[in-house]
A = this chain, B = another copy of it.
């Protein structure tokens, strides 16, 4: 690992806390800080700042990545390209679990455990496609990451609030590059356990961790199958006090359940561990597991293979998404599709003839 000198700016953690909010704040420090934030940098200044680990500049670069303005995106693209050669040197961990599973409390505990090692710098990102409405899980849960949010070697960033999951995922993946270039060597990407967001997170991390609760009665139900199949590790939270026996039972259930799945491509058998995010039991064991996984997959070549597959996946995923959005966002096509839909529904044209007509029209 390259050493990244720390930025001594005393406003650093405030800047981090501020996230992407553009609203004026009552915090008197931030009022003065506003002027500083408004300063515009050249691409090279951004890159130099990131490479020296300046969290304030990193944060503003991420704001560029998240911006929907084309001029910001152009700057972001250049920053990313220049940071790319310095990226890749972290362990990326995906973390999912239903609301109430204790994700934020757990991340706070995980983070404080990891940061005991002064060589570790931890970035916590999130993918929450619903964040436009809910204002983001991390932003809302900030109070539950009390210690981490003011820790020196931590960078917490709420989910970008772009529209589509694809857009949100892209911005998060680009933010990973910037964080890695800034010397962050552990990246946790949190997502809520709904919809397709787990798949997106799974496609950008080295290790996918599923938080479960004992005794919620939904252990091993079909609905969790897809997510369980993606997990490299399952951790059962709130294994404390009266709950320990239930948690052990759930652990046995999950272990049995995992045996029903074929051996993952990685050759790694997913483990099921108990812990308590609140009381901080079992945290060390979880990170030992992650490290053992990394060692194991780096040795058998799967670690690099998975990252390469992910890079290709996002390239082709982006192409496919763009092919569609370019076509369907064309006003001429939108108008034509309305007419064609009507003709198809009135059996004047087959679905396939209508599709051909629309495609031909885009070419002309």
Contacts and interface: CB of A to CB of B under 8 A. Distances in A.
Contacts of A327: 319, 323
A101 interface: no
B324 A355 contact: no
Contact of A358 (B87, B319, B359): B319
Interface stretch (A54-62, A238-246, A337-345): A337-345
Interface residues of A, number: 44
A33 to B, nearest CB: 31
Given A177-B350, A324-B320, A348-B84, A341 B315 contact: yes
Contacts of A84: 347-350
Given A340-B315, A347-B87, A352 B170 contact: yes
A335 to B, nearest CB: 15
A40 interface: no
Nearest to A326: B359
Contacts of A80: 350, 352-353
Interface in A81-104: 81, 84-85, 87-88
Interface of A: 77, 80-81, 84-85, 87-88, 170, 173-174, 177, 222, 225, 308, 311-316, 318-320, 322-324, 326-327, 340-341, 344-345, 347-356, 358-359
9 contacts: A85-B347, A170-B352, A174-B352, A311-B351, A312-B341, A313-B351, A314-B352, A314-B355, A323-B324
